[in-house]
Amino acid sequence: MTFREATAEQVGGAAVLVGSTRQGRGGLRKQLRLLPVYILLALGGTFALVPFIWMLSTSLKSQAQLFVFPPEWIPDPVLWSNYAEAWNALPFSAMLMNTIFVTALAMFGELASASLVAYGFARFHFPFRNALFVLMLSTMMLPWVVTLIPSFIIWRVLGQINTYDPLTVGSLFAWGPFYIFLLRQFFQTVSREIEEAAIVDGANSMQVFWHVMLPLVKPVLLAVAVLSFQGNWNNFRGALIYLQQPLERFTMPLGLQFFQASLSNEAPRWHYMMAMSGLMALPIIVLFFLAQRQFIEGIQLGGVKG
């Protein structure tokens, strides 16, 4: 290697080192600028977790520790038996099975019907398509109290009071306009060339929908599934209106309210109420953490691409 080549190599290495150093300084400056944002987000997250942490703490306390001052965050002793005692106070096992049945049926019904209707609005041309879509979206602005009494009268005439049909049948007819809007916006971003290629290969419309389009919108479908699960799992209003005695027909939200009313007639037993509230929230928390990345991706894609 000549002196000139060695000098050029040293100069090139120095330039790379200087560039990497500047890049590192730029990244550090960017992180420092974002530091206040991270601090605010951390404080906001901590503030939002305080009620949940207090609920868990209260659920493990004895009755004598409930109203002490100053409040005790760490129970002493830790009473895991509160969960078993609260669970056995009412037929919560039957209520849990009812809630799982209603939630699963309504969730899959919403996924199937909303995705099919959204695909029709996004890909097919038919008379008054845009007017019907706007009419469907306008139902989101309709207060639920307006349809409460007519819906109840219809189900009573059909003889379906104290059954699970009012809580599930509507999902088979796309009762979620927001889900339809979210899926339609995403369907419209999928290239038509993919569908045309499938049609050339001999696929019909339903085969294109099932084998081509649905796999492409998995993130949005998962986001809809999480939102639907949360809504149906916590559906207290529908259960309160349509479900009656016996207690074994109740769902968990209605049973939890009945449990709270029964505790109010006795000495305060908020540790039992907090234990049942924690069990009620557990499935939603687990589902969100398992599908967190896909859920956020689906919401972002549906919002941005729309």
Please write the tens of the pLDDT for every residue from 30-64.
Answer: 777 888 888 888 888 888 888 888 889 988 988 88
pLDDT exceeds cutoff 90 at 109: yes
Check residue 2 and give its pLDDT.
56
Cα distance between residue 262 and residue 247, in whole Å: 13
Q: Residue 272 falls within a domain, yes or no?
A: yes
Confidence tier at 8 by pLDDT (50, 70, 90): very low
Count of the separate structural domains present in the chain: 2
Query: Are 28 and 109 members of one domain?
Result: no
pLDDT of residue 300: 58
Q: For residue 158, is pLDDT > 60? A: yes
In a domain, 69, yes or no: no
The one-character DSSP state at 243 is -
Give the model's pLDDT for residue 173.
86
Claim to verify: residue 239 and residue 167 sit in the same structural domain: yes
pLDDT at 140 over 50: yes
Whether residues 8 and 106 fall in one domain: no
Instruction: Please report, for the domain that includes residue 192, its CATH number.
Output: 1.10.3720.10
Give domain status of residue 68, yes or no: no
Q: How confident is the model at residue 216 (pLDDT cuts 50, 70, 90)?
A: confident
Q: Are residues 26 and 123 in the same domain?
A: no
CA atoms within 13 A on the CB side of 140: 11
Per the prediction, the chain carries an average pLDDT of: 83
191 and 132 housed in the same domain: yes
Same domain, 185 and 47: no
Note whether residue 73 is domain-resident: no
User: Which domain, by its residues, includes 254?
Assistant: 82-305
Checking if the pLDDT of 134 tops 80, the result is: yes
Dihedral angle over CA of 184, 187, 193, 196, nearest 10: -70
Question: What is the rounded distance in angstroms from the CA atom of residue 150 to the CA atom of residue 278?
Answer: 35
Q: What would the DSSP string read from start to end of 200-238?
A: HTT--HHHHIIIIIHHHTHHHHHHHHHHHHHHHHT-HHH
State whether 126 and 257 are in the same domain: yes
> Given a cut of 80, is residue 165 above it in pLDDT?
yes
Question: Does residue 65 lie within any of the structural domains?
Answer: no
Residue 132 to residues 126, 172, 191, 205, 289: CA-CA distances in angstroms?
Answer: 10, 19, 24, 21, 37
Domain boundary at 26, 59, 92, which? 59
Residue 211 pLDDT > 90, yes or no? no
pLDDT for res 3: 45
Which residue did the predictor score with more confidence, 126 or 266?
Answer: 126
Question: Mean pLDDT lowest for which of 8-22, 147-161, 275-289?
Answer: 8-22
For residue 7, is pLDDT > 70? no
Residues 6+ apart with CB under 8 A from 109: 168, 171, 172
Statement to judge: residues 228 and 145 lie in one domain: yes
Residues 42, 91: one domain? no
Shared domain check, 274 and 184: yes
The reply to whether 137 and 195 lie within a common domain is yes
Contact 182, 302 (CB under 8 A): yes
Mean pLDDT of 166-178: 87
Residue at 267 is within a domain: yes
Name the phi and psi angles at 181, rounded to 5. -60, -45
**Assigned domain for 127 exists:** yes
Q: How confident is the model at residue 23 (pLDDT cuts 50, 70, 90)?
A: low
Residue 195 located in a structural domain: yes
Residue type, 13: G
Question: What local confidence, expressed as pLDDT, does residue 131 receive?
Answer: 92
28 with 96, same domain? no
